[in-house]
Amino acid sequence: MNETLKVLEERRSCRNFKPDMITEDELQQILRAGTYAATGMGKQSPIIIAVTKKELRDQFAEENRKIMGAPEGVDPFYGAPVILVVLANKAIPTHVYDGSLVMGNLMNAAESLGVANIWIHRAKEEFESDFGKNILADLGIEGEYEGIGHCALGYAVEPAKKAAPRKEDYVYYIR
């Protein structure tokens, strides 16, 4: 089977990460793949914030937990040591789709390198809050950005489960 198609079929969300940091080379390859996602009219509306600093990663986890309404002590990122936050410029009509494609590229690139991953939501709410606005200001990012998602990265504690069977009515043909 083609390696790309194999990655697409075998990628699964990880919900139990080891605390070990991924390598810098793996991180850079994953980030590069994200920057090559297709975007509407080639506008490249998304940006990626790579969070590897544990203190900031933990602040993101706490903000996400609060938005989620989960009890104290719950880590919405399942212990992943790296969080890639994808945002996209609201001025571009396709920004949500563009950012979603970046998320897909990040996750599939990670899988291809043996790095476990999961898409975690609530980035939109995070970056509508003072917490998110302060992060953007601290990074010198100007403009109106919408949080699209978090790509949590790390090494899985256990192997991924097999894919569930695909539903019967997934594809319809018009020939």
How many other CB atoms sit within 10 Å of the CB of residue 129?
14
Domain span including residue 99: 3-154
Q: Is 164 among the domain residues?
A: no
Count of domains observed in the chain:
1
Mean pLDDT by 10 residues, the chain (175 residues): 94 98 98 98 98 98 98 98 98 98 98 98 98 98 97 97 95 97
Residue 111 CB partners (closer than 8 Å, separation 6+)? 7, 10, 11, 117
Q: Is 173 among the domain residues?
A: no
Q: Is 163 among the domain residues?
A: no
Q: Is 170 among the domain residues?
A: no
CA dist 119 and 58 (Å) reads: 17
CA dist 21 and 31 (Å) reads: 15
User: What CATH number has the domain bearing residue 10?
Assistant: 3.40.109.10
Q: Is 162 among the domain residues?
A: no
Would you state the structure tokens that stand for residue 19, as one six-digit string?
């605390």
* pLDDT at res. 69: 98
Question: Residue type at 99?
Answer: G
* pLDDT at res. 139: 98
Question: Residue type at 35?
Answer: T
Among residues 175, 168, 132, 172, which one has the least CA distance to residue 150?
Answer: 132
Q: Crossing angle, helix 130-139 and helix 54-68, to 10 degrees?
A: 150
CA dist 105 and 48 (Å) reads: 12
Q: Is 169 among the domain residues?
A: no
CB 117 within 8 A of CB 31: no
Whole-model pTM: value is 0.97
Q: Is 16 among the domain residues?
A: yes
Q: Is 32 among the domain residues?
A: yes
* pLDDT at res. 1: 84
